[in-house]
Amino acid sequence: MIRTGSRLRQIGWAVALSLCVTGFVALTFRVNAVKSEVRLAEREIVALEREKEILEIEFQTRASQQQLANWNRVEFGYQAPEASQYLENERQLASLGMPRSADAPDPIRVALAPVEGEEGGFPDFVSPITGEPAQAKEIEQSGETEKPESNPMSAPRSLSDRLARDNPIGRQIGRAKE
C-alpha cells in the first residue's frame, strides 16, 4: 500500500507540474499576443499623430494663403501672369535687353581658343623678382635655342625630354628611360 500511495503521489505531482507548465506556456503566448497588439496600437497612434500634424500644417498653410491673398488684394495688388506675358523664344527675351554702353566691361569668356604659334601645355614660369619668364634667362645664358620637331600627331616634346629639361631652380628633375 505504501508503494501505491507513493506512486499515486508521483503521478499527481507529474500531472500538477504538467498543468503548471501548460498554463505557463499558454499565459506566455497570451502575454506576447497582447504585447503585439499594444505595439500595433502604438504604431497606429504614431501614424495618426503624424497625419494629424500634416493636416494641421495643411490647414495653417491654407489659412495663411487666404491671408496672403487678402493682403495682396488690399495692399499689393499683385496678379497672376497672363498668357500674353510669357515669351515664346530667346529672341524675344534678347529684344527686351539694352545694348552695352561704351564704358561697359568686356563680357566674361568661358572658353579659350588656342592662339596660332603658341605652344600648347603649361605657361612658362615667371620670376617673381624680375617678372620675366624663368626659361628666358637660361636660354640667354646658354646661347642655345632648341626647337622641337613639330609633328601634329604627337606631343610637343617627349616625356623624357620634358623630364630631362632643367627646372627653373637649376638642378635636373630626372631622366626617363625609353
Radius of gyration over every alpha carbon of the chain, rounded to an integer in angstroms:
45
pTM (whole model) above 0.85: no
Q: Which residues contact 163 (CB under 8 A, 6 or more apart)?
A: 173, 174, 175, 176
* Per-residue confidence band for 167, with pLDDT thresholds at 50, 70 and 90: low
Residue 176 lies in a domain: yes
pLDDT at 84: 83
Residue 177 lies in a domain: yes
- φ/ψ of 87, rounded to 5, equals -90, 145
Note down the domain range covering 174.
Answer: 132-145+153-178
Q: How many domains does the chain have?
A: 1
pLDDT, one tens digit per residue, over 80-126 is 888 888 888 888 888 888 888 888 888 777 766 666 665 655 666 77
Residue 138 lies in a domain: yes
Residue 3 lies in a domain: no
